[in-house]
Structure 1
Amino acid sequence: MPKIDINGVQLYYITIGNGSHSILCMPGFLGTAEDTFGDIFKTVDQQRFRLVAWDPPGYGKSRPPNREIKMGYLKRDAELAAELMKKLGYERYSVLGVSQGGDSGLILASAFPSNVISLATLAVAAKYDEHMRKVGRFYTMVDHYPEKKLNELLKVYDRDYLKKMTTDLLSYGMATGHDNLRDVIGPIKCPLLITHGQKDSVCQVYQARELMMRFPLAKLHIFPDGNHDLHSTHPEEFAGVVFQFFNSTFESSGYSKYFQDLTGHHVSLPPPPQSPRQTSTQKTSTIRCKLQTTHQKGLPSCSSIFSRDPFGLSGPSCRGPRHTDALRPTTWPTAECHPEPITRINCHLQRNTVGFFFRHD
């Protein structure tokens, strides 16, 4: 059972595959490496990828210590995970974060931009709103869990620990002030893929829109039949989307060429790609303001650009057009909003899923 001491904490981790592209896998609430990513391990090309999955402190086999769910604990996870990868010898890697593991992944990518090649998230809650509070209250009713789910959890945790963890999570959610991303300390500079299940009953799909508003240059993929655990119920479909994204970002970064060129002597890594990826919250707000002020002149509103969604993903707050004409190419109305005007919006529709991403031409 591999464990490693990171800042005085004994962390359990597993490594799958022998590929040149390393992926840090971060589970969510009460999740462990095996139960969260076990089905993914079976579908991944292990000659191309090397997956490093951990049990966060207080979860699974990374006990003791017990989990402390309080302000800043997701940031602490991000810092410990980054130190874990450093100690294992991985200088550059991509990150896959599920649910709260995705929150920690966003924090990690913002705090350690030189280490993260790309980031993919699943079912991340940008806001802890009324629906999430209802979910949190249900989580505290351990004895009312579906029998199968409860039995799975009881294999890892006792009832008292489950009760404490779920109660602490509810208290944490009430204290966050509706902002789950307060510890994302800066812009995400690496390529970002946001994925979500259309039928997610825990973290509803509108949360993906909130993330896209925060990171408008991200790529979005919605799985039409996916729930909160779609990585387990649809592992092949999920892995196909996510690892195709990882593969494309790895090749475009130049690191695949680096590994191919190793011939027994050191070859310097190329610098990270310099093309802009994500914008900060402040820049997003500026663009939103500019677009709204020019909307009366016949230009598209902010919502119609950032949330182009003929399928109703964005919900009632979207004021933009809700039909396919919203997908036609457009331009930024004000040059000062962005150093390079974005002149094309690409949208692809595939198997009833929709993915949006902005591209500089």
Structure 2
Amino acid sequence: MKTADLSGLYEQRLVDYNGYNIATYRFGKGKQTVLCLPPFPHSGLAYIRFLECISPKELSFVTLDIPGWIGNSQNIFEHKKFRYDRMMELLDFLVESLGLETFTLMGYSFGTTLSVVLNEKYKERVDKVVLISPLLNGKNIHQDPGVEALRLLRRYELYPVASLYTRVRFKQYSADLIKKGYPQYLIDLYSQMLATMSPHVELDSIYELFSSDFTKYIPPLKKKRTMILYGNDDMPAIQNEVIQLQALLPEALYRMFPGRHEGFLLRPEPSVINSVKEFILG
């Protein structure tokens, strides 16, 4: 395991997983650990924006770069094809190798699917669960007009088009990072990580999300303190998902934030982030 401290903002560790380097990150010095599963197709480092709103002393965040997405992890997927089972094997390895004993699970959009599976596997270790803009049922997403476009891109192997969209989106919100006072070198680093993304894994992973059903992992959440957040302008698939979750998990804490799901971390609202912190610490 190779460790590097980058200007004190966060600690990056490259973990050897069957000969592949997997980039993991830690930031914050709190006693309670939060394992953060990234939103599609971002580096786990995106979660560092929590520190705009809360003190680093309050929580300890652990996250990773999903192989094939934006980040510094090497691609573990054979034939460049994303596989959920391979991804879960990697997460099992990281939970053990990073020494995570008791922790809160936080999943964001795509990361919510990984979170609910991990909650089932590590129910004795998981303290609380936070789901942001959940996407657990592919049937809900089939109603979204963008799904057919994704099918066509995949059918005709137009993988670079998906990557081009991601790069355009990054340029749109990098200006916001500069306004927030983020160091230029950190923005440049993220831009460099963007260049390592695999177009095949990027498109395959989102297609798998839209074709999968993780609702069987919802009932175990009844035994956990769970918080579910969603945007007031989220796409219909997420809105439908939240309605279904409210019926299945009425005991969960629900919180709305302004805008679409992208805005939760791209433009973090202090009151929302603080409500998450209070839930985890409570």
**Category of TM-score, reference length = shorter chain:** 0.7 to 0.9
With over 3 angstroms needed to count, the CA separation of the structure-2 counterparts of 1:54 and 1:21, relative to structure 1, is same
Report the TM-score, using the length of structure 2 for normalisation: 0.72
Aligned to 2:65: 55
The separation in 1 between residues aligned to 2:196 and 2:26, in whole angstroms, is 30
Q: Is the 2:106–2:130 contact (alpha carbons within 8 Å) kept by the matching residues of 1?
A: yes
With over 3 angstroms needed to count, the CA separation of the structure-2 counterparts of 1:196 and 1:185, relative to structure 1, is closer
Amino acid at match of 1:149: R
With over 3 angstroms needed to count, the CA separation of the structure-2 counterparts of 1:186 and 1:78, relative to structure 1, is farther
Aligned to 2:99: 89
Aligned residue among 193, 214, 218 for 1:156: 193
Q: Is the 1:27–1:33 contact (alpha carbons within 8 Å) kept by the matching residues of 2?
A: yes
The separation in 2 between residues aligned to 1:146 and 1:28, in whole angstroms, is 13
The root-mean-square deviation of aligned C-alpha atoms, in Å, is 3.1
The separation in 2 between residues aligned to 1:138 and 1:200, in whole angstroms, is 19
Q: Give 1:195 deviation, angstroms.
A: 0.6
The correspondence of residues 336-351 of structure 1 with structure 2, limited to 5 A, is none
Q: Give 1:240 deviation, angstroms.
A: 1.0
Aligned to 1:31: 42
The separation in 2 between residues aligned to 1:48 and 1:173, in whole angstroms, is 33
Aligned to 1:172: 208
Amino acid at match of 1:201: M
Superimposed CA distance per residue, residues 213-272 of structure 1 (whole angstroms, 9 cap, x where no aligned partner): 34332221122x221112221242331121110010xxxxxxxxxxxxxxxxxxxxxxxx
Could you say what secondary structure the match of 1:131 adopts? coil
Q: Is the 1:124–1:203 contact (alpha carbons within 8 Å) kept by the matching residues of 2?
A: no
Aligned to 1:145: 165
With over 3 angstroms needed to count, the CA separation of the structure-2 counterparts of 1:236 and 1:174, relative to structure 1, is closer
Task: Indicate whether 1:131 and 2:143 are aligned.
Answer: yes
Q: Give 1:11 deviation, angstroms.
A: 1.6
Q: Is the 1:126–1:210 contact (alpha carbons within 8 Å) kept by the matching residues of 2?
A: no
Q: Is the 1:96–1:121 contact (alpha carbons within 8 Å) kept by the matching residues of 2?
A: yes
Could you say what secondary structure the match of 2:251 adopts? coil
The separation in 2 between residues aligned to 1:144 and 1:62, in whole angstroms, is 20
With over 3 angstroms needed to count, the CA separation of the structure-2 counterparts of 1:56 and 1:169, relative to structure 1, is closer
Amino acid at match of 1:142: A
Could you say what secondary structure the match of 1:238 adopts? helix
Could you say what secondary structure the match of 1:156 adopts? helix
Task: Indicate whether 1:68 and 2:104 are aligned.
Answer: no
The separation in 1 between residues aligned to 2:218 and 2:52, in whole angstroms, is 35
Unaligned runs of 5+ in 1: 249-361
Amino acid at match of 2:201: M
The separation in 1 between residues aligned to 2:234 and 2:167, in whole angstroms, is 20
Superimposed CA distance per residue, residues 111-142 of structure 1 (whole angstroms, 9 cap, x where no aligned partner): 11011010101011132232346246259443
Aligned to 1:345: none
Q: Give 1:64 deviation, angstroms.
A: 2.9
The separation in 1 between residues aligned to 2:62 and 2:15, in whole angstroms, is 13
Aligned residue among 265, 269, 280 for 1:231: 265
Aligned to 1:220: 254
The separation in 1 between residues aligned to 2:104 and 2:209, in whole angstroms, is 28
With over 3 angstroms needed to count, the CA separation of the structure-2 counterparts of 1:154 and 1:39, relative to structure 1, is closer
Report the TM-score, using the length of structure 1 for normalisation: 0.58
Q: Is the 2:150–2:207 contact (alpha carbons within 8 Å) kept by the matching residues of 1?
A: no
Q: Is the 1:33–1:54 contact (alpha carbons within 8 Å) kept by the matching residues of 2?
A: yes
The separation in 2 between residues aligned to 1:175 and 1:8, in whole angstroms, is 30
Q: Is the 2:110–2:209 contact (alpha carbons within 8 Å) kept by the matching residues of 1?
A: no
The correspondence of residues 254-293 of structure 1 with structure 2, limited to 5 A, is none
Could you say what secondary structure the match of 2:68 adopts? coil
The separation in 2 between residues aligned to 1:171 and 1:23, in whole angstroms, is 27
The correspondence of residues 313-332 of structure 1 with structure 2, limited to 5 A, is none
Identity of aligned residues (%): 19
With over 3 angstroms needed to count, the CA separation of the structure-2 counterparts of 1:199 and 1:65, relative to structure 1, is same
Aligned to 1:269: none
Which has the larger Rg? 1
The separation in 2 between residues aligned to 1:204 and 1:175, in whole angstroms, is 15
Amino acid at match of 1:3: L
